[in-house]
Chains A and B, each alone.
Chain A
């Protein structure tokens, strides 16, 4: 089971998350605490439930049972009778705004330019003025190396560039936590490097990150902790160095042997 953290209030505290799709149990009671500044890599075979777990954390999926508390605020809890209750819609949206998310398929808004993609949510959700947000958006785009592409549309970008814009777009909402759902899986191999570099840079700035990934080198070199999931459960959770040097569980060992 995951280690208990010493911080009083974890950034994310997920308890006993259960979720099924059409009779198949995808998450069989997953618990995880994420402390401030931690970078947690979630690895495991496809179908292990790792992406679903990530999507449950920010309410893209509705859980059947368990509780999720984000920075001390309850998104969802389950009472003694087993009734799973979410915070009211607007409240849930506000809580989930603490988490930014990057998708495998980028999901940029195709009708908006790169800059418009980045400023859209700060404008409409936070109600900031253009004057307030544009300089910050430009700074973020410079950080991901795409300031020159400001006026381009997503269809004019490479996959790696799209994903870096998606990261800048998420950061523009100033989240405390970043969730990455297989951010490099849809990319050509030669384009994964630029995205991983951007993520590494974020980690170095002590962003709290939860990364579902098949990039074992990223998991080993950048993350503070690695979680191995299989069949809807966390099989093993260890500091990155230990996990790769000495996986304890046979299933972890088999998976790592296969991947490395």
Chain B
């Protein structure tokens, strides 16, 4: 193991852990005003939006790849499929699509 690589890995580990750890351990007794509590409750949906758009449509240069994956995932989960099935359907549809 080279020491420079080890330093990179350790440094990356530390700067990744600190933002993950601080709010859960330090903020736990801070009482936020209602507005900010509301904002934090909104965060999961907003995060999902930013994770999906535009990333999902830029996986491939072919825009249709992402669109097809998105539409099949929305379709499957709208019908009530659980997350596993949604992933399976989406991967299956795109496997067929890349074959043809």
A, B from the same assembly: no
Query: What is B's interface to A at a CB cutoff of 8 Å?
Result: none
Query: What is A's interface to B at a CB cutoff of 8 Å?
Result: none
